[in-house]
Homo-oligomer: A and B are copies of this chain.
Amino acid sequence: MHDSSYEALVRADAFSDCERAAVYRAIETRRDVRDQFLPDPLPDALIRRLLSAAHAAPSVGFMQPWNFLLIRSREQREAIWHAFARANEEAVAMFTEERRQAYRSLKLEGIRKAPLNICITCDPDRAGPIVLGRTHNPRMDAYSTVCAIQNLWLAARAEGVGVGWVSIFHDQDVKEILGIPKRVEIIGYLCLGYVDQLYEKPELEIKGWRQRLSLDDLVFEERWPADAVSDGGG
């Protein structure tokens, strides 16, 4: 068994400068897209590449807990949009009056505009009750599924496809529309479509909702400093 393991080790060169730059370009220019979706359908082969990228994500105990529910029908997207709209009205009411107008001016989803929606779920029973690496952190299966989402998002950027993550709905509403079993957890609801323009910075930064924090304030050495404060962390 050990022998075959060692044979399976292969050279792992760093990437060329050009390849490395491409990876950073995907990371730095990826955006959470709400309104720039073009209506053109995404080809099946492209969707397959995106799903393969998601499926290549790390998963705790190699449990691969994810499923990908592809939603293209107008009826289903319309039903999901109504679930969003109801929840978003509740969300508006949670903000202070001062923030409420700004909140209302933001477009927070592209459910009907994006030609493809993908609901990404986590099945906690995928590998039995005791999972290597989940023994002391029950959220590791959800975190694995988020890694799959981020893989898909970066691959989409490289393909010229925008992705927006919608989180404003009651899970139960979406689970009913999509027939998702009780035990299965919704992790992310994504809207996808081709884009030919993107914001050069995060949209919420451009629109003055919240500013970029300084990375220096977020990095600590060896121990959390005793005088660290919450806002910005340092």
Contacting residue for A58 out of B32, B200, B223, CB 8 A: B32
Point out which of A11, A137, A168 has the most chain B C-beta atoms below 10 A from its C-beta: A137
Contact A27 B222 (CB under 8 A): no
Tally chain A residues at the interface, Cβ within 8 Å.
131
Contacting residue for A170 out of B134, B136, B160, B232, CB 8 A: B136
Ordered by A's residue number, 29 sampled pairs between the chains whose C-beta atoms are within 8 Å are: A5-B206, A10-B197, A11-B196, A12-B195, A14-B158, A15-B158, A23-B154, A23-B158, A24-B53, A27-B53, A27-B155, A30-B58, A61-B204, A62-B210, A62-B212, A64-B212, A67-B224, A69-B220, A69-B223, A70-B219, A70-B221, A73-B222, A126-B232, A136-B167, A136-B168, A143-B146, A147-B153, A179-B223, A181-B228
A residues adjacent to B (C-beta < 8 A): 1, 4-5, 8-15, 18-30, 32, 36, 49, 51-53, 55-58, 60-64, 66-73, 76, 87, 90-91, 94-95, 103, 105-106, 108, 123, 125-127, 130, 132-137, 139-140, 142-143, 146-147, 149-151, 153-155, 157-160, 162, 165, 167-171, 178-181, 183-184, 187-188, 195-210, 212-213, 215, 218-224, 226, 228, 230-233
